Each structure stands twice: as C-alpha cells, then as structure tokens.
Structure 1
Amino acid sequence: MKPIPHAVLALCLLASLPASAQTDARTFLGYRNDNGTLDIAASDGRYLIRPYDANIVETTFVPRGETFDPVSHAVVLAPGQAKATITDADDRIRLVTEGITVTVEKSPLRISYAYKGRPLVAEKGGYGHAGDLESIEFALEGDEALYGAGSRAVGMDRRGHRFRLYNKASYGFGDHAEQMGYGIPMALSSHKYALHFDNPQAGWLDFDSRKDGTLRYEVMGGRKTYQVIAGDDWAQVMDETTRLTGRQPLPPRWAFGNFASRFGYHTESEARAVVDKFIADGIPLDAIVFDLYWFGKTVKGTMGNLAWDRDSFLHAEAMMADFKKKGVNTVVITEPFVLTTSKRWQEAAQQGVLATDAAGKPFTFDFFFGNTGLVDVFKPQARDWFWHIYKDLKAGGVAGWWGDLGEPEMHPSAAHHATGTADQVHNIYGHEWARLIADGYARDYPQERPFILMRSGYSGSQRFGMIPWSGDVHRGWDGLQSQMEIALQMGMQGQAYMHSDLGGFAGPVLDDELYVRWLQYGVFQPIFRPHAQEEVPAEAVFRTPAVKALARTAIRLRYAMLPYNYTAAFDDSVTGMPMMRPVLFDDPDAEMMSTKDVASTYLWGPDFLVAPVTAPGAARKEVVFPRKGSVWFDFYTDAPHRGGIVEVVATRPDRIPTFVRAGAFVPLAQPVQSTRDYSTAKLDLHYWHDAGVARAEGHLYDDDGHTAHAYESGKYELVRFASRFADGRLALTITPEAGAAATPTARTFGLKVHNVGTRPRAVRAGGKAVVFRWDAARRLLDVPLPAVRSAPLEVDVTL
C-alpha cells in the first residue's frame, strides 16, 4: 500500500469503531512520513512514532476525537537525534534506526519493537478503554523479569503485581509495601529494555498480575505516549534512560557526609549540644537536620509558619553561623501545607497561592496536623511566594532543604490547581516543588549546588537534584530488609540517591544490633543520614559506648571512602549509572539466572560488592558473586572468592561482608571531622592485583565540592588509573587531567597493591627505583609515590 495524502488521512480518522473498543477488528487505514515521524491512521485513532536517538523511540496513540498533547513533564531529550528510514513492504511498515526497529504490521494491526535484530516487546491488542481507565497492553516473554514502577517493596522481580500509580506514603512499612511516595510509570525488563509511560496522571501499571503474559498501562486520562529504550547492556540502558529524562547533578560534597537528625530538635541549646557532642566524641559530622519544631513548639497547629520560632531559636542565624564554622551545614524541613492556624495563613490566602475549590476560594481540609490549605506549586505566583521564603531562610544561613509530605500526603480530589485537578497533577506535585527550588538556585545562586531532600517525585525529578528517601520505615529488621531493593530499583529508574532513615524511623525500638547493622549498610548507600522518632536516639553519640564505637568505625569508613564515593556520584551525573547497582548489571551472559531477583547482595559503584546483614544474630550471610571467571577479594582480609557462584560467608559484628573486584583501583582518604577539611592532595591508592586481570582501569574525580556544573565549566580534575600485567610485570599508570578552568593539584599517593604473593624483585616509579615495603602475611605491597601534578607517572613492579 502506498502512503496516503494527509487530507485523506484526516478523513480516514473519522472512520469509526467505538472509542472504547479494544478488539482485533481495529484496522490499518494508511500512513505518512511527517518529517521523520511515522503517522499511522487506524480505525480507532492514529499512531505517531518518532525516534529520539538510535536507542529510544517514542510512540503516541491519539484516540479518535482527541488531539495530540505535546507536553511532557519527564522528557528533556530533544527528538530527531538519530537518522531513521521508513520503508513499506510485505504488508509491513518499518521505522529503522541504527538500534531500534519499529515494525507496524497492517493486518492485523500490530506494532512491535526490536533492537539490533533482537525482539524486545510488542503491543498486544493496542489501545483500549474500559470504565474510567484507558489502557495499552504489551506482550511479555515467559522468562522476563520486570523492574520499575517507582519505590515499592515487593521483591526485586516485580512481575505478577499490579501497582497503583498514585504517590502515597506508607507509614511504618516493613519488608513489604505495594504503594509508596514515589511512583514512576516505567517498566524495565531483564531483556535489557525499558518502557517509559510519559503521563503523570493517576492510574495503574500491571506487571502481568493475571499471569497471561501481559504488561498493561492503565491511566485515567491524558497522553497515551510511551518511549521504548534499549541497549547492548545495562550501562547503556541507564545512559539512555537518563539522557531521556535528565541526569542527576552532583549535590554539594557535604551531602556525602554524616547527618545528625531526629524528630526533632526542640531548642537552640539542644541542637548546639548535639553538634558539640559529635565533635567531642570524634565522630565526623557534616549536617544537622531540623524537623518541624524549628517553626513551632507543637506537632499540630503550627505547620505553615515557615519561620524560626524565636522563643526556642532566638539566635537561629548565629547558631547556623557557628555550625558552619565547625563544618556543619543546617537543613530545615518544609511542607507544602499552610494550616489555617499558622502565622502565614492570611498571607497565603490573600495572595492566592493555595489550591482552590470549585468557586475559586482556598480549598481547606482536615488532616493529622490540623485544618489546612495546600500551596499550588503549579501557579507562578505561588512558586514565587514559596521561593522567596526559601531565599530569606537561605540568607539567614540555611544550607539545605527537606521537603516532606510532598505526595502530597493528603490531596483531596476536589482541590483544583492552576493546571488541572488534584488527581490529574497529584503525581507531579513533588516534582514541581523540587523544580521551583532548583529553578530558584539556577536563577539567583547559579554557582551553588542545592541540597533538596524530598519524599515524593516523578520520572525525571533527578535532574532537579532531588534526593529521595524511602519514607517513615519501621524501626525493625523487616524495615531494614526492604531498603536494598527500594534503592536498587529507584537507581535503575534514574533516581540514584534513594536512601533510608538509617536505624529505622517509626517505633520506639531500642535494638543495638539492628542500629549498627543499618549504619554499616549506610556506608554503602548514597546518603548517610540516621533519623528516627526521638524516643530512641538516632544519633550515634547518644548510644552505649560499645554501639558508639561500632558506629564511629562505620562513619569513619564512610569518610575514608569519600574519594571513591564522590567519583561514583560524578559517574552517575555523566552516565546515569547509579551508585547502588543490582548484581544483574554485572552478569552480562546470564550465567546466574538467580541474579534477576537478588537485592541482598549489590554493587556499590563499579568495584565493590556488598552484602548487608539484615537478620538478628546472623552468623552467616549468603553472598552472590557475579560474573563467572572473575575474582572478588574480601575488602578487609583480601581473601579471594570466585565469581559466578553463591557462597555463604561468616559475619562479624564490626562490619558487613564487603568485597572488591580484582583489577579495582580504590582511592581512600584519611577520615576528617567534616568534609570542610577534606582534600585529595594526599590519598592511599589501593589496587587489587590478580594474574587473571591483564588490563584494568579506574579514575578519581575531584572539584571544589560546591560549584554548580563544575565539570561542564572545566573546574575539575580527573586522575586516570590503568594497569597492565604480562610476563611477571605489573605496570600501573597514573595520569592526571585538569579542566580548562582548574589549577592542577600536586597529589601524592600511597600505593597499596593487594594480593602480591612474593616479594617483588624491583619497583620503579617514573623510571627510578623506589623504596617499598612488602608484607608477606598480608600479601600487601606498599609504595610511597612521588607527587603527581600534570605529567603521567608509571609504576613498574617486577614480580
């Protein structure tokens, strides 16, 4: 069939099957090539298919009687960045890029997707409309595991569940939570593709709950648009996903340090005493977080004041300035609810910054904290009003923002916003709230990185610098057990900074073993922030001496790992690869099918393998060592373990099982009291040698820790590491690189080569023999190296 003229196409769209039909009777009517967009006429509407790049193709179905809505709240990538050809032959139309091929079969009408000749997914039955929901179905293969749908706790492979797409907090959740504060309309397959549904309205994402091989997207209205994302491996899928919806910018470096936080600090003297106790006890600290008592003495009745309670915090600005001198940054909680009893109610109502009722008056309702209105973050004047409050607080010394209850926690359907009803905009409320803060910084403080901690968001919220956490988790072993899955899943969906309230939040539970194990896990999660209801202290300084000592060890390790962690965070900002990664990412040949459903062991950055202890009194831990043929070394003892197996290892109370990949370069620093004192001028550089590793690479990223877009503006330094091993000779190369606007740092590295079984015959650095130490018992070679500033340095070890 030949392409049909546009005028005829428009007439064809009037051909009628009922709009509610989902049936094999839907028929193909014609097509045209609209400047690279494949425009398909069907009896019940039209398909618009266009490539974004070689590995991302977008498909929109416009039902008969509707018009195309071009607005996306998630996508930032511009379409048309790949060459595509459209062909018509053999009763099929094909749109072909270098990666994805879209095939439209004419009879029966069916759309399928393939990647480099490998089938990915196909529509199954097309568009349908039943009751209040519109739907699009897809056919699944029997062996596919499914991930995605935002923040949930149901098991790593989420196939078999039907998920509500409506952000809603889950108070006191444990090892299971079907619905949480951060829903994302995305499904990822173990076949290395993703389906991203580009519509924020409330609905459902059905991961084959009926066991009939069907993935079903159901929505109350809006766009029927989805993107198919594919890649050769998981790294490419992550890269493409975050190219589509945006990269996570680096937060300020202090965000990778330790936080003091509880619900909450009641007075200035109490907060000062906490900070001073951390310093006195030698436990590193970079931030203190103020929960709602900073603006009121009571939990109820004061929300919306959004100003320091001067009875309790008379000298708040001086307090924050003193904290800053000690290397401690101040973070305050804010909520989008303005109670009718708050000091800002009249101001908010008169300035028209609140969601309204049908008559245009401020919409008020009762919830736990009192009678309230809700800031309409979709309204320009409300965004300005809210931002100026943040700006005033920042001028007083606040360094970071905690946005709580941003689902919103209570959001009656009868409320109206500037851009739609409550149900239409509910899932992007937190997204827009984060955007207004990010936009404010970009406009008024363009050189600064914001810190934005929020509980709820949407696909793409990471590009605003949003740092999500899993919510009010139960302070129990069940609460800890779900955290790895939640963080790993969110990282796969572009939200790389998902983390938990370390130690658990909800419930007056005093369990020292649980607290220590949670903090030990926290060393290897994106943000290290203990937080809890105040009946049992969340801060390590208020625990028993034995617990405090174990907590100090964990926190100091967190600070020692800052060079590695900050580099992994930089990698996420430029590639989309999250810091926490499922072991399936490292299992390219599917040698271990069990990795599809594993969250209890995970990768931390490119080179660490971590297995948190999540059961009381556990003397042993099952560890999944991925990648057959690889070798993993115990981080603490250097004991080797083979990849491609599941092994049970012994546990210890002072650490969790942690392993490093053979061939890994890991830069470590001496712990400091605060990142204010951090420097990469003198580091230990660890390399795990193995005869089976012929070549390996690594790198260190550094900048000033606070300048926005430091990498893009050339205000950075990179140090690249490489190894070559052959014929008994190990060559290690250190190559510094400085951005155009950076001054190179003279760095000295204490090189520590692990798994060296015999004393080296010689060690040379820069062509000159150097003094070295070799510890036979530990199989460790220790080489102090000369400073490296701008020229490469090669170290040759003759074994």
Structure 2
Amino acid sequence: MAEANPGILQRWEHDGRAVELFFEQGRLRLSFLGEHIVRVRFTPEEAFSPRRSWDVAVPDDAFPAPSLEVSETNDTLTIDAGLLHLVLSKDGGALSCSDKEGQPFASDESAVSWDAADLIGSGLQTREGDRTPYALPEGPAQTEVRLKKQIVGQEAYYGFGQRTGLLDRRGRKITNWTMDPAWGHARHLDNMYQAHPFFMALRPGLAWGCFLHSSWYSQFDVGATTWETLEIITHGGELDYYLFYGPTPAEVVDQLTQLTGRPFMPPLWALGYHQSRWSYMDAPEMRELAREFREREIPIDVLHFDIDYMHGYRDFTWHPERFPDPAGLLADLREQGIRAVTIIDPGVKYDLHSGYPVAREGLNQRMFIETPEEIPFVGYCWPDAALFPDFAQEKVRAWWGEQHKGHLEAGVAGIWNDMNEPAIFDRPFSEGFSKQKPMPLKTPQGNEEERTTHAETHNLYGYLMSRATHEGLRHLRPEERPWVLTRSAFTGIQQWAAGWMGDNSSWWEHLEMSLPQLASMGVSGLPYVGVDIGGFFDNPSSELFARWVELGTFYPFMRTHTGAGTTRQEPWSFGPEVEEIARAAIQFRYRLLPYLYTLAHETHLTGLPIFRPLFFDFPNDPTTYHRHDQIMVGPHLLVAPIYHPGNEYRMVYLPEGSWYDFWSGKGFTGPAQLTVHAPLGRIPLFVRGGAVLPLGNVRQSTMEPLTELALHLYPAGDSAWRWVEDDGLSFAFKRGELAATTVRLSEQPGEISVCLEARQGSFQLHPRTLALHIHSAPRPTSITLDGTALDSWQWDETRRAAILSWQDDGATHDVRVGIEF
C-alpha cells in the first residue's frame, strides 16, 4: 500500500448535528455534541466502523444537537456552531478551527493520509519472532492513519495519562499501548500500564482538549519531530477523535468525563490509609499488623492481601493453611475498624484436576480467550499455565463478576486488579525470572456479532476487567458502593476503578515524579490515583520514607506498598522519629477527610480532579505551566513538598491572590516567590484566600464517628463553600440522604462576616462540636454570634485565628468579627 489522501470533495450532506463530506477516497464526518465538543471521523472506506458494545464513549445523541450554519465557497466549506467556527478545505478536507473570538486551535496542518501500518517502526511490543508485518491481523489493523495539526506559539501539552517525566509533554513522542514496563520507570520509558489517548493544550486565554477514540495502537508526536507540529497516528484504518473547546482546563475535563463517564463515588473508607506488601503471608501476620496500628495509634482503614493469600495463585481462593478461616480473620479486622482488599489477577490457573471450579466452568462455558483455531489460549503468569477471560464479551464480564461472591461473603471490602495489561511471561513463574511474552495480536476476542482481534482490544483489557469487577460487586452487594483498584486502564476507567502507577522504586526521583504523574492522571479524567508510598522496588532511607508519607497524605489514594524481598515499610519500620512523622501525617490525612470527601462528591458530579497541577486553577498564569513540583489539592490547598535528600528549604511560587501559610497562619499576597523552611514533619502547605477548609477530629478509622468538625476560614473578599456528608458507604446520597452545608465568607473594611446556611438534606449526623477558626492577621476586637456579643472565644496566636464553638445544630448562624488594622 502506498500513502494516500482523500483527494477532492465530491459532495456533502447536513443532517442535523452532523456534516458529512464525501471525497474521491473516503468520507469525513463532523458531529457536534453540544456547543463545546465536535467529533471528527475519517475513513478511507465506504462506511465507518460500527459502534462497539464496549465503547468507552457515550453515543453522540446523548448530547444536545446545536444549531449549525453551513456555507461554502469554491475552495472551502464553513460551519458555524455557536462557539465554534470550522473551515474545511475541499481539497483533502484539512480542518481549521477557531472560537468566536477568532482564536485558532487544533487546526490541521495538512489533509489526513493513510498507509500500511508500520509494525517495526512503531516499536509495538509483540512476541519474539512476530516482528514482521504478518503479526498484524488482516483488515483494519494493517492500515495506519495519520494527521498533522498546528501547534500555536508556546502552547503547553498536558495529560496523556500515565507517563514518566515532567508535566508538559511537548517535545515528546507518546505511544498508547498498555504493557508491564521494564523495571525503573525512567525518563526514556514510553509505554506504561495504562493507555489514555487524551491531551489538553493550554495557552493564556484558551484550553482545549483532544481524545483519540481508538483502542488500537496509536501515537502522538507532540512537537518531537517538528516543534510546531502535532502528529496523530493510529492503527485500525480509521481516524476518530473528539475536540473539546474548554475554554478552561476545568471545562475540558468536565467535557471529557461527560463523554467517557463521571468518576465513581468512592466509599469513605477508601480515602483513608491503606497498608500493603507483597506479601503479608498469613492470618497471624495480618492480626499482628492490626494490633500494631491500633496500639501505636496510627490510623488505618485498609489492609491489602497480595497474591500469596491464594491457594497456588488460584483466583478467588484462600490458602488453606495460611488463611484457614478468612471470614473469621476479616471479621476480627472489621471489629478493629479495618477492611480487607484482595488482589485478583486475570490469569486463571489452568487446573482441571484439583476441582478448581473457575477454570472448569470457564472452559465449559467458553469464557476464556481462544486462539484462531478455537482452542484455549494459554499463557504463563503467577500460577504458571493460565487462561484469560475474554472481557470483550458481556456474558464473560457478568460471569467474572459473579466469581467474587465467595470473597464478598467472607467480608472482603474491595478488589485489587493487577497484571491486567495483560502481563504474560515467557515461561512458568515457578521456573524463575522471566520476560514478557505478549498475547499474539491475531488472537480473536469479542462475541460472534462483533468479533475482532487482540490488536483492537489489547488496550481495553484492564479497563474491561475493572468494569466487570465493579459491575459484579454492584450486583452482588447492591446497597454498597464498589471499590476497585486497577493497574491497567484506558480512558473512561474513572467510572469503574481507582488506579495506582505500578511498580515504582524507592528513589527520590520517583517521589518527585509522582507529582506530575498523578496530576497528569487527574487531567486525563482519573481522579482517584496514587503511587506506592516508599517505593515498590529497593529500600527507602528513613528520610525518603518520611518525605514520601508527608506527600502521600495528599494523594487521592494513600497506600504504602512494597515488593517481595524488600525491607519492612510499615510506618514504625524506620525508628521512633520517622514513626512520629508518619503518625502525624496519617492523622492529618484523617483530619482532611471532610474536605477530601466533599471533593469526591464534586468529582462525582463534574469530573474535576482532586490532585491537580497548578495551572488547572490558574490557567492564565504562564508561570504555572511548568511548575511540576507544586500541586493544588482541590481549589483550596497548595502543596509544595521536599523531594531531594538533605533539604530543609525550597522555593514556593504563590499565584495571584491571597494566601495563608497553613502552619503559621501568616498571610501572603501573590504572585510571589517565597523561600520556605520545611524540616522533616512540616510539608510546605498554603491555603488560598477565601477558603472554607473543613477538618475533622483524628480518628483511628472511618468507622469511628466524626465528633468534632473545625471550619478553618481564610477571608479574602467574598467567597462560599459547600461541604457534603453522608453515610460514606451506600447510594442513599443519590436519593437526597446527605447533609450539605454552605458557608459564606465576606471580608469588608473593619469586619469579617460568616454565614452558615441551614443544613440541607435528610442525612442525620452523629452529635458533634462545631468550631470556627477565623484566620485574621490582627486579633479581633469583637465577635458576635447571631447578634449576641461573645466573650468566650479564644485566640490562637500560633495560627493567628479566633476560635469559637458550639454544638452543631445544623441551623443558620451569623458570625461577625470586628477587626482594627
């Protein structure tokens, strides 16, 4: 096949939300999904590919159809769609985009083209001996489509999911192909466990996004070959992508998650502290861990069970000697406020002789992937020879979900999906060290009506496994929110699971890398993310562990995890000094839960990330565009960790506005560069002016009730914040069984006013004390509550805050604070 392009436009049609253009070779269709999203599809064939049942995007008709005005000249076709202005060339269909102010974005540099897929040049990981064109299945897998777009000026490019390196990805080639990457996760690493073919481009005044709607192998050349050119490449014989016209970063993510699904609402316990290791080997060790946490008064909500809890690495089993009574063990843990999360891998042990029902029933019902010759595909992983479910089939996903019944009956709270890229070894695990031996790309998958090959479904394998797990938990335990953790994923995974970044190392570089890595995941639509605190490979120094747990306090998913053969990494494993630092950090995490849980509710409704880059909240400040080492946690908190050994000072950039040092209460006005002292145990933390920051009392587990709630108020003009509470476990909040309280804060010359509006919703809270901490540079001269002067308030000189409290009654209250400057 020689490179080809569409040629000259022959005719065009307008059918409501869409305009379709027919060229000498191929057809181009533009569908408008509301006023901010346009879907662009091109195929060199006579018809577009049919919609897949597993599609991660909702159908076009889920969005309203905007009014379109279409006009043409001899050379162009113009479409006005309210906020968007598009011009297409009649010679090849190159697309120029701008907004109603005339700002260009996402414009094509040239017409789309297509050619034979280049397997060798792609670097696509295949089986040894398969690196020939014949490794690609016949049909669309053998066609590669390319499109070049213009990069405007100094546009920065973010997102792209799970990556190494810094925040701005401009200047890199980025491949979308899930794999279990080589140890080290260094800067040169391209593919990792997840594939998110989405990016956000940003310049002052405009943010826009692009989601490449292709599960086939794809690549973005983001100015790596030519600085001013973005090239999109995908196998599969069709180009299909969505453009999102923000014009802010928050609106781009909102639009992406409207299309690919809003994030699931986690149970409250999942936002607590998790402890894990490969592996805690038996029930006595688990009980001893629980005892240590409780005796040392270090809060914890979850213990994770890695692969050695299984019987011979058989999914959905327990080792009969090491874990003889799983229900009894989990009940004992639950009595101490600790839940269990168990690992489940997709590789099902090929065992037909011991009475193992998962393998026998799955084979009898043809639930596993088969070769083109219709015999079970067998690959190696932890249980040696293994079978792999065909999650592209709905019946398989339902069957897989039902397999969790025994675990749930034993008291398991959540499921951890691992090795689901899928990772396959080149020899049995029992024989020692192995390399990867991926599933052949020609392997059939899907049901008879939409039969395809692994070349199309590979990137979706972890996504579909997580979906099957989530849906299974929801079916088996309908009144309780599922919680699933996954290693591999695709765009849209936020509906089904949280994610972690895989097997990192105990390196300072990986502590630093967690900042842009997790921020990029949030920008890509997945809010509940974390890395292994302390590192998975190698052994951290005591200083590194202390700094990591300080930062991990703010990860949306906070888990310490480490690999086999490493030193212990419990919070007390590094001596009394680090134990105290870890205890204080984890306790602070539990104090933050009312804030983090409110952010989770917001995320569930809007898709907004919790752990986000500085530019997200300050998109018109170019100084923030490359600040990879400072993070916003929600709209109120700015975190600037230490990530080099031996350092106790660092520079912190505060964007425009009012800011408060959380620890001292000292006020600052941005933009400003500060030198901040940060000894061990005191991470630089700043609160944005206007914030209402709800902090709870320290609890050892989220099973304990909240008995104190402190509202830290940071006046700066007029602001408001609504915090949300519910039972933390069920779906009753969807029926209005929640408690939502709005606080309005106003700063005027000589006075700060606080209005607590009456609590909304039917959820009944546990009795508690409500304390207002009103941060003010000078000590107030007077305070009134509901018009009555108060004498009983306190002044915290260290934090520069006036404190008043009462029994929380959920009623409207008005507080006035007199100030003399």
Would you say same fold, with TM above 0.5? yes
Partner of 1:718, secondary structure, is strand
Moved more, 720-729 or 435-444: 435-444
How far residue 305 of structure 1 moved from its aligned partner, in angstroms, is 4.0
Q: Report the equivalent of 1:356.
A: 370
Partner of 1:136, secondary structure, is strand
Partner of 1:121, secondary structure, is coil
How far residue 116 of structure 1 moved from its aligned partner, in angstroms, is 3.0
Q: Residue 396 of structure 1 is aligned with which of 374, 396, 410?
A: 410
Does residue 100 (structure 1) correspond to residue 92 (structure 2)? The answer is no
Does residue 75 (structure 1) correspond to residue 57 (structure 2)? The answer is yes
Q: Residue 723 of structure 1 is aligned with which of 741, 745, 754?
A: 745
Q: Report the equivalent of 1:31.
A: 12
Q: Residue 492 of structure 2 is aligned with which of 427, 444, 460?
A: 460
How far residue 140 of structure 1 moved from its aligned partner, in angstroms, is 1.3
Does residue 319 (structure 1) correspond to residue 319 (structure 2)? The answer is no
Q: Report the equivalent of 1:170.
A: 181
Distance 1:364 1:109, change over 3 A: closer
Does residue 366 (structure 1) correspond to residue 374 (structure 2)? The answer is no
How far residue 151 of structure 1 moved from its aligned partner, in angstroms, is 0.3
Q: Distance in 1 between matches of 2:86 and 2:50?
A: 22
Distance 1:231 1:665, change over 3 A: same
Amino acid at match of 1:531: H
2:401–2:470 Cα contact (<8 Å) kept: no
Q: Distance in 1 between matches of 2:49 and 2:624?
A: 41
Q: What per-residue deviation string (whole Å, max 9, x for no partner) do you get for residues 696-725 of structure 1? A: 1112111100113x4432111111111112
Q: Report the equivalent of 1:59.
A: 40
Q: Distance in 2 between matches of 1:762 and 1:746?
A: 29
How far residue 240 of structure 1 moved from its aligned partner, in angstroms, is 1.3
Amino acid at match of 1:160: G
2:368–2:390 Cα contact (<8 Å) kept: yes
Distance 1:762 1:288, change over 3 A: same
Moved more, 101-110 or 371-380: 101-110
Does residue 656 (structure 1) correspond to residue 683 (structure 2)? The answer is yes
Does residue 123 (structure 1) correspond to residue 108 (structure 2)? The answer is yes
Q: Report the equivalent of 1:734.
A: 756
Q: What per-residue deviation string (whole Å, max 9, x for no partner) do you get for residues 582-625 of structure 1? A: 111232333xx232122100101111000111111112222221
Q: Report the equivalent of 2:567.
A: 536
Q: Report the equivalent of 1:581.
A: 612
Amino acid at match of 2:522: G
Q: Report the equivalent of 1:641.
A: 668
Q: Residue 203 of structure 1 is aligned with which of 218, 237, 256?
A: 218
1:73–1:200 Cα contact (<8 Å) kept: no
Q: Residue 386 of structure 1 is aligned with which of 386, 390, 400?
A: 400
How far residue 197 of structure 1 moved from its aligned partner, in angstroms, is 0.8
Does residue 749 (structure 1) correspond to residue 761 (structure 2)? The answer is no
Partner of 1:142, secondary structure, is coil
1:765–1:785 Cα contact (<8 Å) kept: no
Q: Report the equivalent of 2:549.
A: 519
Q: Distance in 1 between matches of 2:288 and 2:540?
A: 22
How far residue 275 of structure 1 moved from its aligned partner, in angstroms, is 0.9
Moved more, 438-447 or 303-312: 438-447
2:776–2:800 Cα contact (<8 Å) kept: yes
How far residue 102 of structure 1 moved from its aligned partner, in angstroms, is 2.4
How far residue 269 of structure 1 moved from its aligned partner, in angstroms, is 0.8
Q: Distance in 1 between matches of 2:799 and 2:313?
A: 57
> What's the RMSD between the two structures over aligned residues?
2.1
Q: Report the equivalent of 2:287.
A: 272
Distance 1:778 1:350, change over 3 A: closer
How far residue 727 of structure 1 moved from its aligned partner, in angstroms, is 2.7
Give 1:337-736 correspondences, 5 Å limit: 337-340=347-350, 343=356, 344-367=358-381, 370-410=384-424, 411-413=438-440, 414-418=442-446, 419-464=451-496, 466-507=497-538, 509-534=539-564, 535-590=566-621, 593-627=622-656, 630-679=657-706, 682-689=708-715, 693-708=716-731, 710-736=732-758
Q: Distance in 1 between matches of 2:506 and 2:813?
A: 50
Q: Report the equivalent of 1:14.
A: none
Q: Residue 762 of structure 1 is aligned with which of 782, 796, 816?
A: 782
Distance 1:687 1:757, change over 3 A: same
Does residue 181 (structure 1) correspond to residue 193 (structure 2)? The answer is yes
Q: Residue 219 of structure 1 is aligned with which of 234, 238, 241?
A: 234
Partner of 2:559, secondary structure, is coil
Amino acid at match of 1:615: H
Note the residue ranges of structure 2 that are not aligned, 5 or more in a row: 118-143, 425-437
How far residue 415 of structure 1 moved from its aligned partner, in angstroms, is 3.0
Q: Distance in 2 between matches of 1:124 and 1:189?
A: 16
Instruction: Give the total of aligned pairs.
Output: 761
Q: Distance in 2 between matches of 1:244 and 1:235?
A: 14
Amino acid at match of 2:770: F
Q: Distance in 2 between matches of 1:187 and 1:604?
A: 21
Partner of 2:647, secondary structure, is coil
1:37–1:49 Cα contact (<8 Å) kept: yes
Query: What is the TM-score normalised by the length of structure 2?
Result: 0.89
Distance 1:442 1:636, change over 3 A: same
Q: What per-residue deviation string (whole Å, max 9, x for no partner) do you get for residues 629-671 of structure 1? A: x122111112333322333322211121111112211111111
Q: Distance in 2 between matches of 1:340 and 1:498?
A: 33
How far residue 341 of structure 1 moved from its aligned partner, in angstroms, is 5.1
How far residue 90 of structure 1 moved from its aligned partner, in angstroms, is 4.1
Note the residue ranges of structure 1 that are not aligned, 5 or more in a row: 1-17, 297-301
How far residue 541 of structure 1 moved from its aligned partner, in angstroms, is 3.5
Q: Distance in 2 between matches of 1:787 and 1:355?
A: 57
Partner of 1:134, secondary structure, is strand
Distance 1:594 1:717, change over 3 A: same
Q: Report the equivalent of 2:339.
A: 329
How far residue 674 of structure 1 moved from its aligned partner, in angstroms, is 0.4
Q: Report the equivalent of 1:13.
A: none
1:278–1:541 Cα contact (<8 Å) kept: no
2:200–2:249 Cα contact (<8 Å) kept: no
Distance 1:778 1:270, change over 3 A: closer
2:43–2:237 Cα contact (<8 Å) kept: no
How far residue 368 of structure 1 moved from its aligned partner, in angstroms, is 6.4
1:277–1:541 Cα contact (<8 Å) kept: no
Partner of 1:137, secondary structure, is strand
Q: Distance in 1 between matches of 2:741 and 2:767?
A: 11
Amino acid at match of 2:335: K
1:732–1:794 Cα contact (<8 Å) kept: yes
Amino acid at match of 2:691: A
How far residue 787 of structure 1 moved from its aligned partner, in angstroms, is 3.0
Give 1:228-247 correspondences, 5 Å limit: 228-247=243-262
How far residue 64 of structure 1 moved from its aligned partner, in angstroms, is 3.2
Amino acid at match of 1:257: G
Does residue 292 (structure 1) correspond to residue 307 (structure 2)? The answer is yes
Q: Distance in 1 between matches of 2:796 and 2:16?
A: 68
Distance 1:725 1:631, change over 3 A: closer
